[in-house]
C-alpha cells in the first residue's frame, strides 16, 4: 500500500436524493482501503472547507468532494483560493453529473476511491469567469435553467439540438439578450438567445454537439451561440440548423476559443456549472490550461 494520504472529504448529504447520507460509511471505507486518512466535513454544518483548510494549511494532501456538480463547483473554488492549490478528487452522487461523465468518473464507488488513492492527478483545463472559477460550463440565455429541470428520459429522447429546439418552442420567443460577444478575435453583436462556454462532453445531461472534438486538456473551450431570429425565414433557418446539427455562422455558431468576453446592455445572469451566479454587465471568461489537478 502507498503511504497514507491525508484527505479532506467534503460531502453534500442531500445530493442524489440523499444517497450520500445513506452511503457515507462505504465512501469513507472505500477511501480508507485506498490508502487515505479521511477527515469528513459536511456541507452547510459547522466549519466549512475554507475554514478547515485555513486552520490546517499543511495537513491535507488532497480535497475530495462527494455530491453533484454544484458541490464540485464550490469545492474547486475553495481549493483555488489556497496559496497552494491541492489535487481534487470527485465522487459523483448528483442527479446530472456532467463533469463526471466527461472525466470518466461514472464508475463504481470502489473504482473511484481506488483512483483517488493512486494519487496520480491528471491536469485538466479550468475556466475563469471574472473572479470565479468553473469546472465545465458557463452559460447565459433562455435554456440555462430549463436544461436542469427536464427529466433525463426526455433529454435522452430529444438529444442536445432537438432539446434546445424544444426549449425555443416552450419559452418566450420575444425574449433576447443584447450583447457584444468576442470569441478570441471574432466579434458578434446583436440579440442572442443562448451562449455556453464549456469544457465538457455533456451539459445538462445531454451530449454536446461535435462531442468527439472535446478534449478536457487542450487549452480550448467549446463555444455555442444562438442568435435571436429577427424574421420568420431566419427562425425557420435556425430550426433547420438545429435539426441538422450544422452551424450556419449567422444564427448558430460552434466555435473553439481560449477567451470569451461578453458585454451586455443590462445586468445578465449566468450559470456556472449549473449554479446561478450574480448578474453582470461584463463577463470575461478565460481558459486556465492544466490548472485543475483531478485525481482519477
pLDDT score for 49: 85
Q: Is 196 left (phi over 0), alpha (psi -120 to 50) or beta?
A: beta
Cell of 83: 496559496
- Give the whole-angstrom CA distance, residue 118 versus residue 43: 26
pLDDT of residue 244: 79
pLDDT score, position 34: 96
Q: What is the pLDDT of residue 1?
A: 45
pTM (predicted TM-score): 0.87
Architecture of the domain made up of 5-119 = 3-Layer(aba) Sandwich (3.40)
d(CA 101, CA 69) in angstroms, rounded, equals 11
Query: What does the pLDDT read at residue 232?
Result: 85
- pLDDT, residue 187, reads 97
**What per-residue confidence (pLDDT) applies to 120?**
96
Q: CATH for 137-289, among 2.60.200.40, 2.60.40.10, 2.40.50.100, 3.40.50.720? A: 2.60.200.40
**Sequence ranges of the domains in the chain:** 5-119, 137-289
Pairing, β 271-272 against β 275-276: antiparallel
Residue 275's pLDDT is 87
Successive 10-residue mean pLDDT values, the chain, 296 residues: 84 79 92 96 82 91 93 94 95 87 94 96 98 96 62 52 57 81 97 94 82 92 93 86 84 95 96 90 98 97
Amino acid at each position: 500500500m502507498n503511504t497514507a494520504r491525508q484527505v479532506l472529504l467534503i460531502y453534500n448529504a442531500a445530493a442524489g436524493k440523499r444517497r450520500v447520507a445513506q452511503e457515507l460509511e462505504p465512501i469513507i471505507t472505500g477511501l480508507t482501503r485506498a490508502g487515505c486518512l479521511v477527515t469528513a466535513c459536511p456541507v452547510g454544518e459547522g466549519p466549512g472547507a475554507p475554514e478547515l483548510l485555513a486552520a490546517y494549511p499543511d495537513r491535507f494532501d488532497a480535497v475530495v468532494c462527494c455530491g453533484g456538480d454544484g458541490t464540485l463547483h464550490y469545492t474547486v473554488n475553495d481549493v483555488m483560493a489556497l496559496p497552494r492549490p491541492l489535487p481534487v478528487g470527485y465522487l459523483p452522487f448528483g442527479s446530472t453529473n456532467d463533469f463526471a461523465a466527461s472525466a470518466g468518473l461514472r464508475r463504481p464507488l470502489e473504482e473511484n476511491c481506488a483512483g483517488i488513492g493512486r494519487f496520480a492527478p491528471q491536469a485538466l483545463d479550468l475556466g475563469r469567469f471574472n473572479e470565479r472559477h468553473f469546472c465545465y460550463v458557463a452559460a447565459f440565455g433562455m435554456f440555462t435553467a430549463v436544461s436542469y429541470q427536464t427529466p433525463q428520459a426526455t433529454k435522452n429522447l430529444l438529444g442536445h439540438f432537438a432539446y434546445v429546439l424544444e426549449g425555443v418552442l416552450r419559452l418566450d420567443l420575444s425574449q433576447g439578450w443584447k450583447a457584444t460577444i468576442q470569441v478570441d478575435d471574432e466579434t458578434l453583436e446583436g440579440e442572442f438567445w443562448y451562449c455556453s462556454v464549456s469544457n465538457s462532453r455533456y451539459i445538462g445531461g445531454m451530449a454536446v454537439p461535435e462531442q468527439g472534438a472535446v478534449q478536457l486538456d487542450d487549452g480550448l473551450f467549446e463555444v455555442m451561440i444562438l442568435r435571436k431570429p429577427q424574421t420568420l425565414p431566419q427562425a425557420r433557418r435556425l430550426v433547420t440548423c438545429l435539426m441538422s446539427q450544422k452551424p450556419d455562422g449567422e444564427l448558430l455558431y460552434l466555435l473553439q476559443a481560449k477567451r470569451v468576453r461578453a458585454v451586455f446592455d443590462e445586468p445578465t445572469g449566468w450559470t456556472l456549472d449549473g449554479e446561478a451566479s450574480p448578474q453582470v454587465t461584463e463577463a470575461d471568461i478565460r481558459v486556465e490550461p492544466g490548472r485543475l489537478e483531478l485525481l482519477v
